[in-house]
Amino acid sequence: MSMPMFSPGADPGSSFPELLKRVGLAPAADFHGDLSVPHATTCVALRFADGVVMAGDRRATSGNLISHRGMEKVVQADQHSGVAIAGAAGPAMEMIKLFQLQLEHYEKVEGSSLSLEGKANQLSMMVRGNLPAAMQGMVVVPIFAGYDLLRANGRLFTYDVTGGRYEEHDYVATGSGMLHAGTVIKIGWRDGLDRAAAVALACRGLWEAADADSATGGPDALRGIYPVVATITAGGWQRLDDNELVDVFESIASEVRSR
Amino acid sequence: MSQPFYVSPEQVMKDRADYARKGIARGRALVAVRFDDGIALVAENPSSTLRKISEIYDRIAFAGVGKYNEFDQLRVAGVRAADLKGFQYSRDDVDARSLANNYAQILGQIFTHEMKPMEVEILVAEVGVTPDTDQLFHVLYDGTVFDERRYTVLGGDAEAIGARMKETFADDQQLGAAVKEATKALSGPDRTLAAGDLEVAVLSRSNGRRCFRRLGDDAVAEALAD
């Protein structure tokens, strides 16, 4: 593989997708025909005192079948941000991979990270680029959350199929279980929640979504599969250990039992 | 049409090499040295924004001396090549050796075919999973590649600095000791370099996926004080 060098006029700058186009490696965005692809489901994010909490279940479904039990729909985008996806799993994973690469590529070429706002806009363009595929049913709608180092607070962004970008203040939910999870979080959310309370609230939202929505998976103690829960603060992304989640879900379960 | 004077190829190459060497010798030097947890890169660089040392990939760093715009162009090409390769195959397939070979090709091509050679010397360093797989590739302005084992010096006055490194280098030093040693070699006996005059970065095995990390002035001052 030779080294890509460009004349000043044709230089792709710090954009990785643009570089892929120049060297002929850009992923195809078109799909034709009726496809049955795995879909992924409930993800939530909410703001708390030190930043944001993101959480997502692990189930992917294909029609009425569970196609994957351990899918990770909440992933780290870079040191201070994360993405959660709902929609067609294949294009969504490809989009996330490209998004992560783009943030790292920009950081290395420019010598400094994009601002959180810049990252959110970058993702917006990628969702927009997926529109032709979305028309064929391969919808991808992410949540983007991160810690804004310039403003020193956590921020949340949600998207629609056309790449429309909306900043949410307190919390956001996406996927087929978004109504249930969103309602739980809406009722429980307070300004300045601490970390433990925010994690418990996010998990409670997922629990209720899994309880009422067949496409959302609950905590699977039998196989040891728990939702992905992560916090993003000034110190960066930190995924919660499964051991900690066992306790959180155990206390939810015991509360439900005692009703 | 006037007939150009005949100049022998030996003379052409010699003139180009002299030109490149002069350009490089004007700049300040840089030392890369292995320590117990990876590779430390120490450059004399009073600017805190125009970098000589930077990250290429998870385990690979780049360092250049000489003409800034020229080595920066090579740096960006390296980041692109590495990111593309990692995207196309896997992150594990990106290695310093193939990058160094690519750089050697480009520099060799420019040296023989262009009017002006690049006035740069570059280093491609890769920190291995185990210490015995650490690699330092030193590429010269004409595309010559050296594979170094313990430390390497780039830039003007490299011989004298290299001689000082040879005296003090020891295997399995701590980071602080390695930085201090490299700084002393760079400054020589007649002057001292403070943290503000240096640009320091490390490739550290214990740093997670992305091994590259810059050391701020405070961390450097602390290492030099010990």
Q: How confident is the model over A131-188, as pLDDT tens digits? A: 777 777 667 788 999 999 999 999 999 998 888 899 999 999 998 889 999 999 999 9
A194 by Cβ neighbours in 10 Å (0-12 / 13-18 / 19+) ranks as exposed
Tokens 């595309």 belong to: B143
Let me know if domain B26-225 sits in CATH 2.30.40.10. Answer: no
* Domains of chain A in sequence order: 38-257 (3.60.20.10)
A183 is catalytic: no
CA distance A191 to chain B (A): 34
Please state, in angstroms and rounded to a whole number, the distance separating the CA atoms of residues A54 and B220.
36
CA distance B45 to chain A (A): 16
Please state, in angstroms and rounded to a whole number, the distance separating the CA atoms of residues A89 and A67.
11
pLDDT at residue B156, as a whole number: 85
The answer on pLDDT for A1 being more than 70 is no
The confidence band for A53, taking pLDDT boundaries of 50, 70 and 90, is: very high
Closest among A102, A129, A98, A116 to A14, alpha carbons compared: A102
Give the number of A-B residue pairs with CB atoms closer than 8 Å. Answer: 55
Give the domain ranges of chain B. Answer: 26-225
Q: Are B175 and B183 in contact (CB under 8 A)?
A: no
B84 contacts in A (CB within 8 Å)?
A: 1, 4, 19-20, 23, 25
Tokens 């919808």 belong to: A139
List residues bridging with A48 in a β-sheet: A51
By the CB < 8 Å criterion, does A26 face chain B?
no
Give Cβ neighbours of residue A193 (< 8 Å, ≥ 6 apart).
Answer: A46, A48, A49, A201
The confidence band for B152, taking pLDDT boundaries of 50, 70 and 90, is: very high
CA distance B3 to chain A (A): 33
Give Cβ neighbours of residue B208 (< 8 Å, ≥ 6 apart).
Answer: none
B106: nearest CA partner in chain A: A3
User: What percentage of chain B has pLDDT greater than the value 90?
Assistant: 85
Per-residue model confidence as pLDDT tens digits over B65-86:
999 999 999 999 999 999 999 9
ipTM: 0.81
The confidence band for A108, taking pLDDT boundaries of 50, 70 and 90, is: very high
Beta strands in A89-164, from DSSP E residues, in sequence order = 140-148, 153-159
Q: What is the pTM of this model?
A: 0.85
Q: What is the DSSP string of B157-219?
A: THHHHHHHHHHH--TT--HHHHHHHHHHHHH-TT----GGGEEEEEEETTS-S--EEEEPHHH
Q: What is the DSSP string of B79-127?
A: HHHHHHHHHHS-GGG--HHHHHHHHHHHHHHHHHHSSS---EEEEEEE-
